[in-house]
Structure 1
C-alpha cells in the first residue's frame, strides 16, 4: 500500500514538473516570437498586405502587375478588388485601401470625403483606354453610330424601343441594353459623354459591375448592345462586333491602339488612373508595389489590350511617387 502511494506521489510530481516545463517552453517561444516580430518590424522586413480596389476597367492591368510583382517577390501579398471606380473611392476614403483604381477622374464629392477623412493622395495616369460600343456578331445593319444616336438610344426619356426607331431602314427588332453598373467609372464616363452631365440612363437597361456579364449579354442576343473598356472588347473580339463612332471631324472610327493613342477615336478615348495614399507610401511593402506598378503599367496595359502612355510620362510619375514617399 505504501509502495502504491509512493508511486502515485512520484507520478503526480513528474506531471507537475512536466506542466511547468511545457509552460516555460511555451513562454519562451512566445517571448522569442514576440522578440523576432519586433526585430522584423524594426528591420522593415515585415510584409504588409497591399490593398487595392476600384475600377473593373483598370483591373486587368493591376491584376497582371500584381501577379508579376508576387512572382518577383514571393513573400509579397497583394489584394486587387473590383468595386467600380465609385466603390473604390468609398473604400479609399474609409481607410480600407492603399491604392484606388479609376477609369475616370475623382469627383468633387469624393475629394471632399478624402479631405474630411484627413487622407492625402496623388493621382497617376497609368494608361489610355477607348470605351467600346459593341453589338452582336449577327448584327449586320449597325455600321456606325453618332453620339446623338447614342443619346437617343440610352437616355432615360428615350422613345427608342427597336432598331428602326434609331435609324430608318434598320429592323423593327427590340433592342436589349446592357450597361456597366452605376459604381463603374465607365458608366460615369459614358453617361457624361453620351447623355450629358445631368443625363440619366434608361431604366430598362440591365446593369452589372462585371464586364464579363455584359459580354455574355451581347453574345447571347442578336439585338443587344453594350459598352465597356477596350481590353474587354479585344479579349472577346471574335465573338463581338465593335461599332465605329463618328468623331468630332465627322469620321466614323473604330477603337484601336493607334486611334486611341492618336485621339482620333473621340470622344470615347480616355485616361485610366490609380490614386495613391500618401501615408501608405511610408510602408515599404506598399511603396515597392506602387513603384513596380508605375514601372510596368505601360507594358502591362499593352499586354492586356489597352494603350500605354509615352515612356516619359511614367518617368515623371516615378519621380512624383518618390516625392510623395520622401525618397
Structure 2
C-alpha cells in the first residue's frame, strides 16, 4: 500500500503529519551537523563491480540466499538533496556486496524523473518532493509502477552573507514578495525600508530540482511561478559559495548543505503569519514548527524490483538504514521513524509480489 504523500502539497497538512509521524527522538537530534562528502563535481558516482548488461538485465549471477553472492548494477538518478543519503547507503552496502556496482547521478528530482527514471533508464529516483500525478501516469504509460519510499525530512534553509548584519530572520510573506514574479523587487529596501538600498542578488535551485518545486509552491504559492532573474544550479555548494561571495545575496538550500558550510554563510530564522521566527534545525523540522520543513523520498521501478534480487536487497538495506543516527549526525536530515521503516518495508514486499499500486 502506498504511503500518503498528498498531505505535503500544502503547508498546513505537512505540519500535521510531522507532528504525528514519530520521527527519531528530539534529544537524539541535538547538535547534529553534516559531514557527508558530495564533492563529485561531475554529478555522478560510478562504482564498478556489477555484471549487468546495458539493457538493465542481470547476467544470471544474482543470488537469492545470504550465503551466495549478490551481483549486478544499480542506477540511481534524481535529487541532489537526497544524493548524500544514497551515496552513503550504497557505500555501506558495497562493503558486504562488492560485486554490486552503483551509478549515482544528481539530475534533480524533476530532471531525474523526466530524463532517466520515467524512460526506464534508472532503477531508483531520489526526490525532494512527492512524485506528481502526471509523473505517476507517465510511469504507467511506460509499463511500470513507481514504488514510493519516504525516508527522511529536511529543514530547507534560507541563507544570506555573513556580513548581512541588517537581517537575522525573515517572514514567509517577505520571502514571497522577494521571489514572486508579480513583485520581483530589485532592492532590499523595496521589501523593507529598514533594509539597505542595495541590489537583491538571488541564488537557488535549478528548475529541474525538486527543491525548486517545493520552494516555489511553499513560498510563492504556485508551482513553477517564480521570478526568473536568479542564479539556479543543481550544485548546492555553488549556492553557498555564491552567497558567501556577495554581501547582499540571498539563497536557499537543504539543511544538510548548510551544516556542511556553517561558517561560510548565515542561516535566517523563518516566521509565518506573525509567529515567532524559528531557526532551521532538525528538531524544528521534526516537530513541524519550522515553516519550511519538507519530506524526502526515493522511488523505485516495480518491474526492476521484481526482476533483480540485488536491487531488492539494496532497497531493503536502504530502508533499514534510513532510521540510523548517522542520517542526522553525519548527513544532516531527520531520520526515518520506526513506523516509516515498517511502511516502507511493506511497500517493498508488496512491490516484489506485484501487488503494489501507488496511491495518495
Q: Distance in 1 between matches of 2:60 and 2:172?
A: 61
Change (3 A) 1:45 1:137: same
Partner residue in 2 for 1:49: 73
Partner residue in 1 for 2:218: 193
Partner residue in 1 for 2:175: 150
8 Å Cα contact 2:126/2:298 also seen in 1: yes
> TM-score with structure 2 length normalisation?
0.76
8 Å Cα contact 2:117/2:123 also seen in 1: yes
Question: Are residue 317 (structure 1) and residue 344 (structure 2) matched?
Answer: yes
Change (3 A) 1:254 1:318: same
Selected match of 1:172 from 191, 197, 215: 197
Q: Distance in 1 between matches of 2:194 and 2:249?
A: 18
SS of equivalent residue, structure 1 residue 291: helix
Question: Are residue 301 (structure 1) and residue 327 (structure 2) matched?
Answer: yes
Cα distance, 1:285 vs structure 2: 1.0
SS of equivalent residue, structure 2 residue 353: coil
Partner residue in 2 for 1:92: 117
Partner residue in 1 for 2:153: 128
Alignment of 1:58-77 (within 5 A): 58-77=82-101
SS of equivalent residue, structure 2 residue 169: coil
Q: Distance in 2 between matches of 1:272 and 1:142?
A: 29
Q: Distance in 2 between matches of 1:59 and 1:248?
A: 33
Q: Distance in 1 between matches of 2:317 and 2:138?
A: 28
Cα distance, 1:321 vs structure 2: 1.0
Bigger proportion of residues as helix = 1
8 Å Cα contact 1:156/1:199 also seen in 2: no
Q: Could you give the per-residue CA deviations for residues 208-234 of structure 1, whole angstroms, max 9, x where no partner exists?
A: 111111111011111111001110111
Higher relative contact order (CA 8 A, sep 6+): 2
Q: Distance in 1 between matches of 2:225 and 2:336?
A: 32
Deviates more, 1:68-77 or 1:225-234: 68-77
Q: Could you give the per-residue CA deviations for residues 279-308 of structure 1, whole angstroms, max 9, x where no partner exists?
A: 111211111111111011122421200111
Selected match of 1:211 from 226, 230, 236: 236
> TM-score with structure 1 length normalisation?
0.84
Q: Distance in 2 between matches of 1:288 and 1:232?
A: 29
Cα distance, 1:199 vs structure 2: 5.8
8 Å Cα contact 1:234/1:305 also seen in 2: yes
Change (3 A) 1:103 1:119: same
Q: Could you give the per-residue CA deviations for residues 181-217 of structure 1, whole angstroms, max 9, x where no partner exists?
A: 0010000001001111256222210111111111110
8 Å Cα contact 1:155/1:199 also seen in 2: no
Cα distance, 1:312 vs structure 2: 2.4
8 Å Cα contact 1:55/1:85 also seen in 2: yes
Change (3 A) 1:322 1:45: same
State the Cα RMSD in Å.
2.0
Q: Could you give the per-residue CA deviations for residues 43-62 of structure 1, whole angstroms, max 9, x where no partner exists?
A: 88562210111011111111
Partner residue in 1 for 2:107: 83
Note the residue ranges of structure 2 that are not aligned, 5 or more in a row. 1-57, 355-360
Q: Distance in 2 between matches of 1:38 and 1:88?
A: 26
